[in-house]
Amino acid sequence: MGVNQIVIGLAIFIVVIVVVFLMFSQLFQLNEVISVIIAFASGLGAEILYRKKARSS
């Protein structure tokens, strides 16, 4: 895996975490701890999907 793919994967991870955290904490008024856990799980899932997609192509 090249440096370019690592940087793109990291950017996807960060963007997903921030967007999901803000969505759950502000829009749905969930507790911050729950929002962080959901955001981290979503970011991890997005990163895994990106890596699978990058390896297959």
Task: Give pLDDT tens digits for 6-35.
Answer: 999 999 999 999 999 999 999 999 999 999
**Crossing angle of helices 3-22 and 32-56, rounded to 10°:** 150
Which one has a higher pLDDT value, 57 or 5?
5
DSSP count for the chain of H helices, then E strands: 2, 0
d(CA 7, CA 25): 27
pLDDT at 2 over 90: no
Note whether 55 and 26 are within 8 A (CB).
no
The pTM is what?
Answer: 0.88
pLDDT at 30: 92
Residue partners of 42: CB distance under 8 A and separation at least 6: 16, 17, 20
